[in-house]
Copies of this chain bind each other. A is one copy, B any other.
Amino acid sequence: MKVCIIGLGLIGASMAWQLKSKGHHVTGVARRQKTLDLAYEQNLIDAGYLEVCRSALQVDLVVVAVPLELIVSTIVHIDTFLSSQTLVIDVGSVKKHIIDDIKSKYLKKTLFVGGHPMAGSEKTGLENFQKDLFSGKPFILCYPSDEVRKQSTLLLQRFVADLDATVCELSAEDHDQRVAAISHLPYILANTLFNLYLKDEPSLKEVASTGFLDTTRVAHSDPLWGTMVALMNKDALIPQIDAVISSLQLLKSDISTFNSKGLLARFNVDHVIEGPEKLERLKEWVKDSPET
């Protein structure tokens, strides 16, 4: 298979390494000569270009691995250079907005499928590429139509298998809902915590332990990525933010009214309280508490 990867950041470069190691021919497009030099040095690409052109795009599959805000404009730009057999996927973490936006451009040649590998790191850039980044991880595919699915599914199944990843086929709406819940919303909460309690309060760093660092690690993602996610995935995110606010308001009410059983049920996520021992200890404490 011949693959052209546009954008050699963490995702693009890790993908290039994996595809090369499986014997595929990989062309890379990057904005800086330094990036291409490094890509050659690490043996990530067979050919490198500083901008897209007809010869860079004479491939079976183009992977648009650029930041969210550049995906649609990049695809519009390459449309004229593509041959009708070439398939295009992206790797952005929002799908409906991007697929709808591409549809609205009525492109002549682009055969587009939305892609999203569930892998990444807050450490970005080619220099942080990882050899097994996609291994064992889901690779979500969102087909814009049954017709596109028919034309592209065999090639994409091979592509995902060669990344050692697992195909997970979802509608764009389903993708956006799920990814909002497991990625975008956790990012928003980590960012909220960081802004409220760590940004300007070095005194807290003194007492912070590893748990806090884990919880806020994702807050250090690219801020432009966060902005694009919030704007592009707002239909999924706003109801989920509302659900968090409602849950916190209920929690406040349970705390204020000393609803110890309600709190225990809320925090018992793994259903670990089987015997009556802990309930008994809670009852004892409530009985002796100065508040009751």
Binding site for B on A (CB under 8 A): 67, 69-70, 72-73, 100-101, 104, 118-120, 137-138, 140, 168, 170, 178-179, 181-183, 185-199, 201, 203-204, 206-209, 211-212, 214-224, 226-228, 230-231, 234, 237-238, 240-245, 247-249, 251-252, 254-256, 258, 260, 263-264, 266-270, 272-273, 278, 281-282, 284-285, 288-291
Q: List 16 A-B contacts (CB under 8 A).
A: A69-B282, A70-B281, A70-B285, A138-B209, A182-B204, A182-B207, A182-B212, A186-B193, A192-B244, A199-B269, A219-B269, A227-B260, A231-B291, A238-B252, A245-B245, A245-B249
- Set of chain B residues within 8 Å of A243, measured between Cβ atoms: 196
With A181-B196, A187-B211 known, 8 other A-B pairs at CB within 8 A are: A69-B281, A72-B288, A120-B209, A196-B240, A222-B272, A227-B267, A230-B251, A245-B248
Given known contacts A197-B185, A251-B241, A290-B100, is B211 in contact with A270 (CB within 8 Å)?
A: no
